Amino acid sequence: MNYHRLLNLVISLGSVLMENGAETYRVEESIYRILEGHHMAQVEVFVIPSMLIVTIRPEGSEKIYTQQKHIRSRGTDLTKISEANNLCRYYCCNDMSLDDLEAAINNIRRGPVYSRTAQYLAYVLAGSSFSLFFGGSLVDAFCAILGSLLVKLIFEQMGKLGTNTFFTNILASAALTLVAELAAISPLHANMDTTFIGPMMLLVPGMTLTTCMRDTIAGDYISSLVKLLEVVMVGMGVALGAYLSMSLVGLFV
């Protein structure tokens, strides 16, 4: 049995889960589950949102194997979480070689994502729907389409530049406010509030909020604190961006 390789695969699976927004207990459980069938005398797993540490000691051996991984990228991909979760369940009930496990993990990593066009359309759909949802008129929803496109564009370009989330949110929120203010001044006479709120929902870190709640329930307070801080920072970024734009427009109008 090649324990280094096993550890590598386990860490790789854990990082797929963590990078795509899974809860801390899910990552821990998945790693335990895979190691369960390998006759370990000792298994220690430590997971926080930015770090994974796994230590194992095989039965009848004094040798200790340990590996850690720093998790940098953070995104949301619920299909990958679901598939990785199913893989763990499958692995512990079925006879599966390490080669197969590696292939399966790589398959999940390379899993399909929606095309760029579909993603832009999704942003437009969500942004304009939420604008209507919060009581906006059709004109407001139309202006919200513009705002949503801008948000996606900023996310995409800033992602390429590797800018941090805080600054990205300031920029996106400032751009949104500008669109809303201009729509209100323009002959369209859109309602500034509803035009802004719709696309603003795109900035709300829904996944982080839910994970934060679930981490709290599971008792992983370090993870939930980190996620709460993330949510607060997004909120502050959005507020700051809107404040800058409102003040700027206030100078001229």
Partner 1 sequence: MDMLTQGSLFFQFVLPVLIAFTACTGFCIIFNIRGTNLWFAAVGGAISWLTYLLCAGSGSEVFQCFAGGIVISLYAEIVARIRRTPSTCILTIGLLPLVPGAGVYYTMKYCVQGEYTLFAEKGMSTLTAAGAIALGVMLVISIFRMLIHLRLHVRRKKKT
Residues found near partner 1 in the complex (CB under 8 A): 22-23, 26, 76-82, 85-86, 112-114, 118-119, 121-127, 129-130, 132-134, 193, 196-197, 200-202, 204, 206-207, 209-211, 213-214, 216-217, 235, 238-239, 242-243, 246-247
Q: What is the 3-state secondary structure (H, E, C) of the chain?
A: CCHHHHHHHHHHHHHHHHHCCCCHHHHHHHHHHHHHCCCEEEEEEEEECCEEEEEEEECCCCCCEEEEEECCCCCCCHHHHHHHHHHHHHHHHCCCCHHHHHHHHHHHHCCCCCCHHHHHHHHHHHHHHHHHHCCCCHHHHHHHHHHHHHHHHHHHHHHHHCCCHHHHHHHHHHHHHHHHHHHHHCCCCCCHHHHHHHHHCCCCCHHHHHHHHHHHHHCCHHHHHHHHHHHHHHHHHHHHHHHHHHHHHHHHC
Cβ 90 to partner 1, closest distance in Å?
Answer: 11
Q: Which residue lies nearer to partner 1 by CB, 71 or 249?
A: 249
Q: How far is the CB of 79 from partner 1 (least distance, A)?
A: 5
Residue number, 105 or 123, with CB nearest to partner 1? 123
> Would you say 6 or 178 has its CB closer to partner 1?
178
In terms of CB distance, is 6 or 131 closer to partner 1? 131
Task: Give min distance, CB of 155 to partner 1, in A.
Answer: 10
Smallest gap, in angstroms, from Cβ of residue 67 to partner 1?
Answer: 25
